[in-house]
């Protein structure tokens, strides 16, 4: 039984980092004319209405995209991402937040393909509705981890795989390592982007060790935190692990991460960029 609903978290600081990195990777890959595959293992609903929480507590987007919405000093790559979120909103007001599939759809060209996986029946129905009629796109009601292995390597031999599980099941921490290792064996030249939450730092230390020992080359980690590690107090940071990152990614993300740590972390922010494995 899946209880995780991304709608509660849409547009939070973790989505900001995830989608900024996703957009940077796609912009880079799309500089080449050759077609590519975008594969989303955990696609979500694709479209989230933002609003007040039933409890009256501040909604998570308010300390994420909400803090960037009216700024006029955004670093160029952050401005590019925020401009996409603006395109998704039909007025100047921030009322909706796009999911990773919509962001990909905006950037892909007619020659590219996208395959989206989602298991929650409500999110799946919304995803199917949003992407109906886009002939580049297939929505599949399948386990994204298994499907990812079955679909690689893609006919295009180029692509981005986004792995964004909810980690609702603790075995997801091991499944992401197994899936990335298997996927890399099938398609070593693909670009992979894995999102992770820092709820318990020990889990992330183990994840980093396992990936470093996996045999996978060229692994970059980018992390953004809004508070110091505090086990038992929810998500204080989150990161993206990118395999075969664009050569420019670390350099262009460094000032953007500093800016986001300051703006979203308000006095408690921190960030890091680490090359887990080199060439
Ligand atoms: C973090 S959300 C995805 C958000 C989305 N990638 C985005 O950035 O907009 C994770 C989603 O994975 C779905 N899910 C959970 N387990 C899954 C599985 N094994 N295969 C595919 N989807 C799954 C959940 O229902 C949820 O909608």
**Tens-level pLDDT at each residue, the chain (279 residues):** 677 787 889 999 999 999 999 999 999 999 999 999 999 999 999 999 998 777 777 899 999 999 999 999 999 999 999 999 999 998 889 999 999 999 999 999 999 999 999 999 999 999 999 999 999 999 999 999 999 999 999 999 999 999 999 999 999 999 999 999 999 999 999 999 999 999 999 999 999 999 999 999 999 999 999 999 998 889 999 999 999 999 999 999 999 999 999 999 989 999 999 999 999
User: Is residue 164 flagged as an active site residue?
Assistant: yes
What pLDDT score does 57 carry? 79
Pocket test for ligand 1, best of 19, 45, 118 (most atoms within 8 A of CB): 118
List 136's β-bridge partners, or say none: none
What pLDDT score does 266 carry? 85
- Report whether residue 42 contacts ligand 1, using a CB cutoff of 6 Å: yes
Pocket test for ligand 1, best of 13, 42, 167 (most atoms within 8 A of CB): 42
Query: Could you tell me the pTM of the whole model?
Result: 0.97
Residue 86 falls inside a structural domain: yes
Residue 276 falls inside a structural domain: no
Q: Are 161 and 191 in contact (CB under 8 A)?
A: yes
Q: What is the domain count for the chain?
A: 1
- 200 Cβ contact list (under 8 Å, min separation 6): 231
Residue of 155, 183, 162, 156 lying closest to 118 (CA atoms): 162
- State the DSSP string of 137-179: EEEE-S-HHHHHHHH-S-TTS-EEEEE-----STTHHHHHHHH
Ligand 1 atom having least distance to the Cα of 118: 22
Residue 240 falls inside a structural domain: no
Residue 49 falls inside a structural domain: yes
What pLDDT score does 51 carry? 86
Domain of 107, in residue numbers: 6-202
Check 73, 80, 164, 258 and give the catalytic one.
164
Residue 131 falls inside a structural domain: yes
- Report whether residue 99 contacts ligand 1, using a CB cutoff of 6 Å: yes
CATH number at residue 31: 3.40.50.150
Residue 32 falls inside a structural domain: yes
Residue 71 falls inside a structural domain: yes
Structure token pair of residue 210 = 């396992």
Residue 122 falls inside a structural domain: yes
- Report whether residue 9 contacts ligand 1, using a CB cutoff of 6 Å: no
């Amino acid at each position: 039984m899946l209880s995780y609903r991304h709608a509660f978290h849409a547009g939070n600081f973790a989505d900001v980092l995830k989608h900024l990195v996703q957009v940077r990777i796609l912009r880079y890959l799309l500089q080449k004319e050759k077609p590519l595959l975008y594969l989303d293992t955990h696609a979500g609903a694709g479209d989230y209405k933002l609003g007040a929480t039933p409890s009256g507590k501040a909604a998570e987007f308010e300390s994420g995209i909400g803090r960037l919405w009216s700024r006029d000093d955004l670093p160029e790559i952050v401005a590019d991402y925020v401009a996409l979120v603006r395109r998704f909103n039909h007025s100047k007001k921030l009322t909706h937040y796009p999911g990773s599939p919509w962001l990909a759809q905006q950037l892909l060209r007619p020659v590219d393909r996208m395959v989206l996986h989602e298991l929650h029946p409500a999110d799946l129905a919304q995803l199917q509705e949003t992407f109906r009629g886009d002939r580049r796109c297939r929505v599949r009601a399948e386990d994204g981890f298994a499907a990812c292995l079955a679909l690689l390597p893609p006919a295009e031999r180029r692509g981005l795989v986004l792995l964004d599980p909810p980690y609702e099941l603790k075995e997801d921490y091991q499944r992401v390592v197994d899936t990335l290792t298997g996927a890399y064996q099938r398609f070593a030249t693909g670009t992979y982007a894995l999102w992770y939450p820092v709820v318990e730092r020990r889990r992330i230390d183990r994840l980093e060790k396992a990936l470093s020992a996996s045999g996978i080359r060229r692994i970059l980690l980018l992390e953004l935190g809004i508070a110091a590690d505090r086990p038992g107090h929810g998500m204080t940071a989150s990161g993206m692990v990118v395999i075969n990152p664009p050569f420019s990614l670390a350099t262009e993300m460094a000032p953007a991460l500093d800016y986001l740590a300051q703006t979203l972390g308000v006095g408690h922010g921190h960030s890091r960029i680490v090359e887990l494995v080199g060439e």
